[in-house]
Chain A
Amino acid sequence: MAKYKTYDKGDALPEDYKKALLNLMAFQADSEYAGGQRVAENMQYAPRPEEAYRLSKKVMEEFGHAYYVWSLMAELGVNVDARLRELVEHPDNPDPKKVNVINGFRRENWSPMFHDWADVGLFSTVVTPAAVAFLGQYRECSYLPWARVNVRIHKEEHGHLAFGVWASKRCIEFGGEAMRADMQSRVPKFMRMGLGFYGRPSTGDKKSQMFDIYYEYGIKVRKPEELQAEYMELVEARLKEVGLEMPRDVQPDYDMRVGYAMDNPVAAE
């Protein structure tokens, strides 16, 4: 049983709740779309036709996730067409006053992380589990239409994990032991990003100001610590499947985070 009040389609939403909700929904939708654009950029690294097609399929999925969430935001009165337009017209540098794209999915932060196809495979193996765990919590959130859409998205994101393992294994299959060692050395750079996904811990003096509010409303239902534990489990299993080891003592990069850096939220109106 939910420990917070839930709302369904058509229910009147308290003003503060609606504001907080739309802020997080916008972050998800805009970032899903920008994520699709970034994935499309990586098509240049696809070494073989099958890799190229599988990446193209991922682009389409990310766009689809954005559409699901935008569609709900439209019901709540947000002009989502303007958000799509901004992203389409300025893929390299969308205006942060108009869309909420996570730092990691902004081109200037994304592009330097990728040099070849091995990076593409590793990203899906090591960073995507963070998104899966993070977005997975919205399946239980207090705004039920958004919770339902995230059940749908979560199922598909799991497919992305399979993609990462498949692509990484193929790299090693073709590149042999030298490639395996090379990829192993790149794991920490992606783990820093994955670990930073959840934001700062929920207690202590560095805690996020917004977290308590979201948590009380039942918009966020997991603490960063819990999400991080879930992430570590997912990523360790995936790395093992690929034949790579899980590095210890990697420090999170909080600047790539999604979701918590919203002390100055952009109004989604």
Chain B
Amino acid sequence: MSRGVAAAAPRFPDPLVEERHGILARYGYRLDRGGLERDWPGMWKLLQGDFATRGRPWVTGFEQLSPRQQEAARVYMRRRLVADELLDACKQAHADLHQSGIAPELVERYAIARDAYEDAVMEFGRAREQLDTLLPKDGG
């Protein structure tokens, strides 16, 4: 499978909302989906900016991280991948409501998909905090 955004990604019925979600691709949304071999250094490049602070303006590349930091970085990136998958499920549920009409069963389905996405985003945040505590407070 080639890299980049998979063509089969579910889409928002709202063109504007879909377009604005394009920002997630900048951080690797739908990159390397489903492959066993993951390009962690490549993915890290897109996400390492999340760890820049005033005291630590420059964040090191994946290869330069210690094993412990690398593991925490992988946890953080895996959380992101899970969030992406749940985001897609949520988009699908949303698109189906637009397609088939608003009915209680589909509304509750959407609520379940969105709850799960929400949890995943918060887990992603927690993983960031965990890795953050392992990085030096100043410099890369």
Binding site for B on A (CB under 8 A): 36-37, 40-41, 43-44, 46, 48-50, 52-54, 56-57, 59-61, 63-64, 67-68, 70-71, 74, 80-81, 84-85, 87-88, 91-92, 173-174, 176
Q: Which 10 A-B pairs have the closest CB atoms?
A: A49-B27, A40-B17, A43-B20, A67-B107, A60-B114, A57-B121, A40-B20, A91-B16, A53-B121, A71-B107
Verify A71–B102 contact, CB threshold 8 A. Answer: yes
Q: What's the least CB distance linking A164 to chain B, in Å?
A: 15
Verify B50–A50 contact, CB threshold 8 A. Answer: yes
Verify B118–A57 contact, CB threshold 8 A. Answer: yes
Contact with A along B57-68 (1 / 0, CB 8 A): 000000000000
Verify A49–B107 contact, CB threshold 8 A. Answer: no
Verify A53–B124 contact, CB threshold 8 A. Answer: yes
Verify B23–A52 contact, CB threshold 8 A. Answer: yes
Within 8 A of A (CB), among B83-98: 83, 87, 90, 94, 97-98
Q: What's the least CB distance linking A160 to chain B, in Å?
A: 11
Verify B110–A64 contact, CB threshold 8 A. Answer: yes
Note all chain A residues with C-beta closer than 8 A to B104. 71
Binding site for A on B (CB under 8 A): 13-17, 20-21, 23-24, 27, 46-47, 49-50, 53-54, 80, 83, 87, 90, 94, 97-98, 101-104, 107, 110-111, 114, 117-118, 121, 124-125, 128
Verify A61–B16 contact, CB threshold 8 A. Answer: no
Q: Which residue of A lies closest to B124 (CB)?
A: A53
Note all chain B residues with C-beta closer than 8 A to A173. 53-54
Note all chain B residues with C-beta closer than 8 A to A61. 114, 118
Q: Which residue of B lies closest to A66 (CB)?
A: B102
Note all chain A residues with C-beta closer than 8 A to B23. 43-44, 46, 52
**Cα-based distance from A67 to B128 in the complex (angstroms):** 32
Task: Please report whether the interface of chain A is mostly helix, strand, loop or mixed according to DSSP.
Answer: helix
Q: A48-B50, A54-B125, A176-B54 are in contact. Are A91 and B102 (CB under 8 A)?
A: no
**Cα-based distance from A40 to B19 in the complex (angstroms):** 9
Verify A67–B50 contact, CB threshold 8 A. Answer: no
6 contacts between A and B (CB under 8 A): A37-B17, A48-B49, A49-B80, A56-B87, A68-B107, A81-B102
Q: A54-B121, A59-B17, A91-B16 are in contact. Are A67 and B110 (CB under 8 A)?
A: yes
**Cα-based distance from A81 to B121 in the complex (angstroms):** 29
From A52, A54, A67, A92, B102 is in contact (CB under 8 Å) with A67
**Cα-based distance from A166 to B13 in the complex (angstroms):** 30
Verify A63–B20 contact, CB threshold 8 A. Answer: no
Verify B114–A88 contact, CB threshold 8 A. Answer: no
Note all chain A residues with C-beta closer than 8 A to B90. 60
Q: A37-B14, A50-B50, A50-B128 are in contact. Are A64 and B121 (CB under 8 A)?
A: no
Note all chain A residues with C-beta closer than 8 A to B125. 50, 53-54
Note all chain A residues with C-beta closer than 8 A to B27. 49, 52
Note all chain B residues with C-beta closer than 8 A to A88. 13-14, 98
Note all chain B residues with C-beta closer than 8 A to A63. 94, 110, 114
Q: Which residue of A lies closest to B101 (CB)?
A: A81
**Cα-based distance from A71 to B102 in the complex (angstroms):** 6
Q: What's the least CB distance linking B5 to chain A, in Å?
A: 15
Q: A50-B125, A64-B114 are in contact. Are A56 and B21 (CB under 8 A)?
A: yes
Verify A60–B117 contact, CB threshold 8 A. Answer: yes
**Cα-based distance from A116 to B17 in the complex (angstroms):** 18
Verify A60–B94 contact, CB threshold 8 A. Answer: yes
**Cα-based distance from A85 to B99 in the complex (angstroms):** 10
**Cα-based distance from A61 to B118 in the complex (angstroms):** 9
**Cα-based distance from A53 to B83 in the complex (angstroms):** 9
**Cα-based distance from A74 to B101 in the complex (angstroms):** 10
Note all chain B residues with C-beta closer than 8 A to A57. 117-118, 121
